[in-house]
Structure 1
Amino acid sequence: MGSASASPPWIAILAIASALFLGKANLLVTLFFWMAPLLIMWSMYSILKEYSLNSFLRVGASLSYALSPVALASISSGRLGSMVTLIIGPQIVRYLLRIRKVEKVSWQFIFALSLLIGVLAAFSMQAFIAVALIYVIGGIFDVIDNRKNSNPRLMRNRLTRRFVLIATPLLLCFPWSFQLLSHPGRLLLEPGLSIAGGGSALAWLANPGGVGSIPWWAMSPAPIILLVALFSSTRARLFAEVGVIFLLVASFAGALAFPSHGDSVGEPLWVGSFLTFASISAVLAGVVILDGLRNKLASTGFHFRHILAGLVVASTLMYAGTAVTWTLTTGANSPVRANQESVLPPFLALNPGVKTLVIRAAEGVNSQTLNFYISRGSDARLGDPDTAPTSPLAIDLAVRQIVDGSGLASSKVLSAYGIKYVFMKNPIDKQFVHAIDGLGGFVRNSATDAGIVWRVDGVSERLVFTSASGKSTGILADPKGTRTFSPGAGILSLAENFDASWEIIQDGKKLPKKQNEYGLPEFAVTNVGEFSLTHDGTARRGMLALQSLIVMGVVVMATPARRRRSEMSVEELT
């Protein structure tokens, strides 16, 4: 129905990256999914060099990270935000450990880290919240330290730098991030289609759950490692404390449900980004514990350390074997696949821009539960779910009345919104089909193995002219705008969500605009003649220009500055 929502920045990042493949974004996404396990493993391996010189231990730990429940579920269900978090997350942790004394870090490093976190926030605001949580915890410790050793100047310096680290990524994602602040629940949502997670119980097992995730009995070793590391006297305890905090946060968030763009009913939250940082903490804690442990255990008598070490190693090996077996068997039938068929029949996609109401049974529940969405001549594309508007109440009511057989005026409502066809995809309950056939205003066009198509009676064009006598006539209109002719005085109705940027200009003047009974924009035409329908994007372009300036400013601050002449040697100057 048209959307004025700001597009998330990750769409622009993918568009820029697809230039490497001559603009083939689908090829970029396909290669990313194929390479994701290796990239996840490489990212973890690169930071483990700082914790162990044992290459076998580093490779094993990196492999266990790539086989973690959150990694397998993210790849299987197409969770783009969590996959990016799995890759960038270890690098974020590496740099976060360097700013424990944040006042000693240069501003160049602060802005470089903010730029990296900004990229992460563009794909997953949930991951940004996880990083911001670490900053807040660090700020609390700064306040406690300042109370013991009062130093107002040092305190201001620390808090200023931490504030910049939190605020800069939000500014980099402007205006999308500020729009999310008006709907705080959406800050926790994953990009793309709203697919339910597994709930808080599975989150305690470091398993996000949901479609494409491993079963609960394939228990991850992460909770066991974190529990063991809590009793360690090494720095593994610090990682364990952070990991347990993220398990708690994930468990709490997993019990929440928020509706995403275009949805009226919320699904249990996917907490993959929170569990990613818990998994990273578990891997780092495990490496710190196991590094050099063999020599230590060999030089001491048998005690509880031998039992705990054996428990960690045994649980890791058992999980790795179970995860690989599941991935090659049951897990191969994942929601993400290369040969997925189209939802819409081919003949409905011949005319781009034609609206079709698609009704299908909800997967994973009983056949009496239905989902619907409005297509414009094609299936949903990358980024569409993140900008989809909330369905108008009139359409929600019309769809309910269609399937229960009481919608005598439903065809009038759908035609007012420019919906020309109704497509009910198989498999579907026959009683719903009989209900639509029994209603007036719907003419069955076809019935195939894919489903059944009905044509909606009435004028279902995007732009409709209604004369003073009440006769309605459809006017051909381009999806972005149009320039056409008005046959006389009357009302022009546009089948798009009402937005202040829609304008019709005739004889050099803007026509008066108001909302009709369905909440759609309509314009009063008084003269015969040519007119132009446009959508004024001045404000949007201004916000994008401001975002570009912010990005360029942060990039300049993050890049090395030219040295002063006083810093150069005599040989360089001569």
Structure 2
Amino acid sequence: MAEKQSTQAQVKDQHVTAILVTHNGVTWLSEVVAALSSQKRLPDQIIAVDNGSIDGSVKLLSNAGIPVIKQSKSAGFGSAVAAAVAKLPIVDKQINNQENNEWLWIIHDDCAPDKLALAKLLEAVAERPQVGIAGPKILGWYDRKHILEAGISITENGTRWSGLEDREHDQGQHDEVKNVLAVSSAGMLIKRGVFEELGGFDPSLELFRDDVDLGWRANIAGHSVICVGEAILYHAQASSSERRAIDVKDAILHRPLLLDRRNAAFVLLANSSWWILPWVALQLLFTSIGRSFIYLLAKLPGYAADEIAAIGLLIFKPADLIKSRRYRKKNKVLSARVIKQFIPTRSTQLQASLERISTSISRAFKSKNAQQNPTQVKSYSDIGIIDESFDELEFVEGKSFAKIRALAKQPFLFGLLVISIFSIFYSRNRFGSLSGGALPVAPDSAMHLISNFFTSWHLVGLGSSSPTPLWVLIVGLASVITGGNPQIFINLFFFFIPLLLYVLTYRSARRFNLSNYSATFAGFIFAVSPAILTSINQGRIGTLVVAALFPILFTALYNHQQLTDLKWRKLYLVTIVAAIAAAFSPIFLLVWLGYQIYQLINQYIAAQNINSTKWEDISKILNQDEIKKRFALLITPFLINIPNSFSLLANPSAKLLEPGLSVPSGDLLSVLLFNPGGPASPNLYLLAPFVLYLFLCLVVKQQRRDTSLALILLALSVTISSFYIAGNNSNAQRVWTGTLIVIAQFILTLNIFSLAERIIPQLRTINFGFKHILSAVTALVTIFSTVAMTGWGLSIGANSLVTTDNEQVIPAFISDLATTNERPKTLVVRKNQEQLKYFITRGSDLLLGAPDVSSKTPEIIHTSIVDLFNGVGVSSSQILGFYGIQYIFMKDPADPALVRTIDGIGGFTRSSATKDGVIWKVNNAHARVSFQNMKGQHFPVNSNDISANGYVSSSGTIIIAEKFDKSWRLLLNGVAVPLEKNEFGLPVFKIAQPGEVLITHDGTVRRGWIS
């Protein structure tokens, strides 16, 4: 009892100044003033600071007898509090304990404290003299059982963290007093001495996150921060919820999210230890990119821009951040580790995110009437004044609908759920670093792909100067999303592609004026079609990218077929999307060019004065806006993909290969049935419905135009697939035409559902006939195909060529040798029942993009290898040795007859025979770069991957064990030496005198094409 009386006496001894900050908050201000006046323990004085209100706030405060300090509307919250503190009398430190007994109670104009709030706060701090800041438990203004905050923290990526469940209701579970990182500035009770010691709120944080920053600095300075659960405050959160405009100076474009995200990043960067700053900065960058991507999918481009712009503001204005970090050093008493206990762990964040997602999904499937919505209180002057029974919320019980009916009203969400479950089970063998089929192994660094795009010489096989296609650079840049790791990016791409195709097709179908239900079915049918699942199973990344981008192109151009109302900015966005698709698929580029040329000719013919031969008339026609836009659509994707687009036009038949390794595809019947075929593809009896769609849409006049395009694409697909092309480091295979099939089936899917929506209402009003029969057959075929393909994908279809458990072909010791100065090459041999295969490696398996720049093996090397296997290659070791091939590796199971053949031919010494295979060393093989003196002796020259340098002691010949290319350069003592070709087709340089040599590959041509 005596202890309680002592606490109450201490509470009475405290001097509290309530600082009320207002800015156009008259909507809530009358209740706030009433709440302050009704406190059981009244504040000793109230000072109001108004930041340029124009809504009557100042008049209301004056009528209530509260003195008002006026500031401009651009002033920040912290400056308002500082202005009020500046008006207080100076603390006399000579008076005993006055400094520790003076408190500042900070109140927003949209928060109303409960009548016991101040008393509970003072009781808590009276019992804890080490406390510098205390805050109440904050409940919602409009739902006064909803807990908004009970102390706050910040995550490593800048998210404001409350540690509460989604829409958690107050049941007394947070009524204790607990230490926290920070409390909200709404209702914050802070010692005046602590406030002045810390310098108040950081002026760089004019609004949002200033409270987190102040709490962080208080903890580091040795002051405790507590949340008092029994002290309650109701907060409307008017600024963050965009119920009113924010006018502070730093609020660019008056966007709350932009300011919040900028300040969140500022708090982390200003307060974190210097040694973890790079990690914090990377997390903030990647999180912002990820959030912006999600906002774009949610059709919120403004929020997406806010995320990126927030980071940009800090990058381009680092002065405030540097100044703040210097200031924080002055008051730092404790190590930054003291706040670690308040930062939520990643497992805690993940658990909370999963709970929030599951809650959101379950809430989405509930009818609005089934949700329990609290009735809004009629007035808020009841807080502490009107009878407490008025605070009891009444809930309206809604009638609960059956789950099936709820799902029927949310077809898109139901489809999203189904396709997500399908993706999880379908991808069960593809969690990890993917490779197999057409997909080579992805490197573990995006810089490998980016540097490969710019380099002029590629270390694949015996070397190649072929230009790297643009898609390699795109994948490298896109891997920034996954922290610069292409392996993770490729894995996520293959996992999410069915989901992405479903969403994009649904969106296009809705723009195609299809109903919600039809768009859902169309998206699902397209996402699980044979062409899509075959592309995933075979690693056809090019086809999958086109499948994802074509709905975007179709939607953009279908609604603007005449291009007159298509703005230039949007048009160039369309051309960029088309250029990206063309980078991944040369066949798409050919089709795109052909279609745009056809449309351009049609528009020219349709123009007036077409028969005129006058240049003025022709110029007038060509100067029409529509023709200029069509020409931009034609030429821009072509120009972006130079020089590969020139190669495609110069030799189309040799450049029609998709990215990656060549994989056998199906025959003509498979292509006709919209199934590209090949290994790991669905059986033909799992009939795709698109042939039936094609027939029905051709019959109907309204669908005939679009369907004719699909028919042309199918015919082109059948024609092209009859060709066999060798390339991409592989034997000749049928040309893969899955890209054309995917485009054709997308067009047919939208048109058949458009036809169905028009026909079905007619079937109810006409007598039974062939329309009913065809409709029933189409529905049955569609259902059978969709169910069958889904079942196939969930069962045997998951056993694809693309997996995570593909073993490494090259033994580890050969990979290690490849990093030595000699840079040896290895001939890898694999034999199956059908044929013998070989490839030349530099110590690693083929990486992403390498097959696309590989060139044909020189005939002299191919002949030597064939002779070796046939047992007649007497000179094989010499030729292989000159090309720097120092080892032959035969992968298990090795053919015993072939092993005996190689053993019996001179020039090869068996090195080892392990469980991996058999290895031979090529006798007298040369290094990648070697020097041959006049006596015929060979000496290795110190070599990097491409360049080499060293000292030659006499005249002789420098031999480069790479394919001949005119861009090889050698400088002898700084003077260029002419390039020659020897009898083996290797690049050589004649050295006339001793000196320093420098060998490089001249990338001027490559840089010219890029620029």
In the superposition, the TM-score normalised over structure 1's length comes to 0.90
Q: Distance in 1 between matches of 2:967 and 2:685?
A: 54
Aligned to 1:173: 641
Q: Describe the SS at the equivalent of 1:40.
A: helix
Q: Describe the SS at the equivalent of 2:856.
A: coil
What is the percentage of aligned positions where both structures have the same residue? 30
Aligned to 1:287: 753
Q: Distance in 2 between matches of 1:448 and 1:331?
A: 34
Q: Is 1:361–1:371's contact at 8 Å kept on the other side of the alignment?
A: yes
Q: Distance in 1 between matches of 2:673 and 2:622?
A: 38
Out of 17, 21, 39, which is 2:478 matched to? 17
Q: Is 1:445–1:453's contact at 8 Å kept on the other side of the alignment?
A: yes
Distance 1:512 1:132, change over 3 A: closer
Aligned to 1:555: none
Distance 1:542 1:148, change over 3 A: closer
The CA deviation string for residues 249-275 of structure 1, in whole angstroms up to 9 with x for no partner, is 111111012222444x42101001110
Q: Distance in 2 between matches of 1:148 and 1:284?
A: 38
Out of 699, 710, 718, which is 1:251 matched to? 718
Q: Distance in 1 between matches of 2:648 and 2:514?
A: 44
Equivalent residue letter for 1:402? L
Q: Is 1:70–1:206's contact at 8 Å kept on the other side of the alignment?
A: yes
> What is the CA distance between 1:38 and its match in structure 2?
0.6
**What pairs with 1:336-355 in structure 2 (closer than 5 Å)?**
336-352=802-818, 353-355=823-825
Out of 216, 231, 239, which is 2:706 matched to? 239
**What pairs with 1:389-408 in structure 2 (closer than 5 Å)?**
389-408=855-874
Aligned Cα RMSD in Å? Answer: 2.0
1:225 aligns with 2:225: no
Q: Distance in 1 between matches of 2:717 and 2:894?
A: 36
Equivalent residue letter for 1:220? A
Q: Describe the SS at the equivalent of 1:407.
A: coil
1:107 aligns with 2:568: yes
Q: Is 2:892–2:917's contact at 8 Å kept on the other side of the alignment?
A: yes
1:311 aligns with 2:781: no
Q: Distance in 2 between matches of 1:387 and 1:444?
A: 32
Q: Distance in 1 between matches of 2:997 and 2:895?
A: 47
> What is the CA distance between 1:154 and its match in structure 2?
4.2
Aligned to 2:670: 202
The CA deviation string for residues 85-142 of structure 1, in whole angstroms up to 9 with x for no partner, is 1100111112232342135544333322211111111111211222223223324543
Q: Distance in 1 between matches of 2:757 and 2:810?
A: 55
Q: Distance in 2 between matches of 1:144 and 1:183?
A: 30
> What is the CA distance between 1:147 and its match in structure 2?
8.6
Q: Distance in 2 between matches of 1:149 and 1:460?
A: 68
Aligned to 2:735: 269
After the TM superposition, list the runs of 4 or more consecutive aligned residues in structure 1 that deviate by more than 4 angstroms. 146-152
Q: Distance in 2 between matches of 1:277 and 1:42?
A: 16
Equivalent residue letter for 2:723? L
In the superposition, the TM-score normalised over structure 2's length comes to 0.52
Equivalent residue letter for 1:76? N
Q: Is 2:827–2:889's contact at 8 Å kept on the other side of the alignment?
A: yes
Distance 1:147 1:207, change over 3 A: farther
Aligned to 2:555: 94
> What is the CA distance between 1:238 and its match in structure 2?
2.3
Q: Distance in 2 between matches of 1:52 and 1:210?
A: 36
Aligned to 2:918: 452
Distance 1:54 1:165, change over 3 A: closer
Distance 1:508 1:155, change over 3 A: closer
Q: Distance in 1 between matches of 2:600 and 2:669?
A: 30
> What is the CA distance between 1:224 and its match in structure 2?
0.6
Equivalent residue letter for 1:244? L
The CA deviation string for residues 387-411 of structure 1, in whole angstroms up to 9 with x for no partner, is 1121000110011011110001101
Q: Is 2:660–2:728's contact at 8 Å kept on the other side of the alignment?
A: no
Distance 1:132 1:333, change over 3 A: same
Equivalent residue letter for 1:109? K
Equivalent residue letter for 1:519? G
Q: Which runs of 5+ in 1 are unaligned?
A: 547-574
**Greater Cα shift, 66-75 or 501-510:** 501-510
Q: Is 2:587–2:656's contact at 8 Å kept on the other side of the alignment?
A: yes
Q: Which runs of 5+ in 2 are unaligned?
A: 1-461, 612-616
Q: Distance in 1 between matches of 2:905 and 2:698?
A: 65
Q: Distance in 2 between matches of 1:306 and 1:448?
A: 68
Q: Is 1:89–1:276's contact at 8 Å kept on the other side of the alignment?
A: no
Out of 514, 520, 523, which is 2:980 matched to? 514
Distance 1:130 1:515, change over 3 A: same
Equivalent residue letter for 2:658? E
Q: Describe the SS at the equivalent of 2:990.
A: strand
> What is the CA distance between 1:460 and its match in structure 2?
2.5
Equivalent residue letter for 1:88? L
Q: Describe the SS at the equivalent of 1:188.
A: coil
Aligned to 2:828: 358
Equivalent residue letter for 2:545? V
Aligned to 1:3: 464
Aligned to 2:991: 525
Q: Describe the SS at the equivalent of 2:465.
A: coil
Aligned to 1:563: none
Q: Is 1:200–1:250's contact at 8 Å kept on the other side of the alignment?
A: no
Q: Distance in 2 between matches of 1:178 and 1:484?
A: 39
**What pairs with 1:117-132 in structure 2 (closer than 5 Å)?**
117-132=578-593
> What is the CA distance between 1:62 and its match in structure 2?
0.5
Q: Distance in 2 between matches of 1:449 and 1:147?
A: 77
Distance 1:501 1:155, change over 3 A: closer
Q: Distance in 2 between matches of 1:253 and 1:38?
A: 30
> What is the CA distance between 1:323 and its match in structure 2?
1.2
Equivalent residue letter for 1:249? L
Q: Describe the SS at the equivalent of 2:936.
A: coil
Out of 905, 923, 934, which is 1:439 matched to? 905
Q: Distance in 1 between matches of 2:924 and 2:473?
A: 39
Distance 1:218 1:140, change over 3 A: farther
> What is the CA distance between 1:339 and its match in structure 2?
1.5
Equivalent residue letter for 2:671? A
**Greater Cα shift, 192-201 or 175-184:** 175-184
Structure with larger Rg: 2
Q: Describe the SS at the equivalent of 1:522.
A: strand
**What pairs with 1:559-570 in structure 2 (closer than 5 Å)?**
none
Q: Distance in 2 between matches of 1:156 and 1:209?
A: 47
> What is the CA distance between 1:29 and its match in structure 2?
0.8
> What is the CA distance between 1:159 and its match in structure 2?
4.5
Aligned to 1:66: 527
Q: Is 2:654–2:725's contact at 8 Å kept on the other side of the alignment?
A: yes
**Greater Cα shift, 402-411 or 254-263:** 254-263
Out of 483, 493, 498, which is 1:32 matched to? 493
> What is the CA distance between 1:237 and its match in structure 2?
2.4
Q: Describe the SS at the equivalent of 1:17.
A: helix
Q: Distance in 2 between matches of 1:95 and 1:136?
A: 18
Q: Distance in 1 between matches of 2:955 and 2:725?
A: 46
Aligned to 1:560: none
> What is the CA distance between 1:324 and its match in structure 2?
1.9
Q: Distance in 2 between matches of 1:535 and 1:233?
A: 60
Q: Distance in 2 between matches of 1:260 and 1:162?
A: 34
**What pairs with 1:40-51 in structure 2 (closer than 5 Å)?**
40-51=501-512
Q: Distance in 2 between matches of 1:54 and 1:110?
A: 27
> What is the CA distance between 1:279 and its match in structure 2?
0.8
Q: Describe the SS at the equivalent of 2:533.
A: helix
Out of 405, 411, 415, which is 2:877 matched to? 411
Out of 535, 541, 545, which is 1:80 matched to? 541
The CA deviation string for residues 225-244 of structure 1, in whole angstroms up to 9 with x for no partner, is 1101111243x222222211
Aligned to 1:562: none
Q: Describe the SS at the equivalent of 1:7.
A: coil
Aligned to 1:323: 789
Q: Is 2:514–2:753's contact at 8 Å kept on the other side of the alignment?
A: no
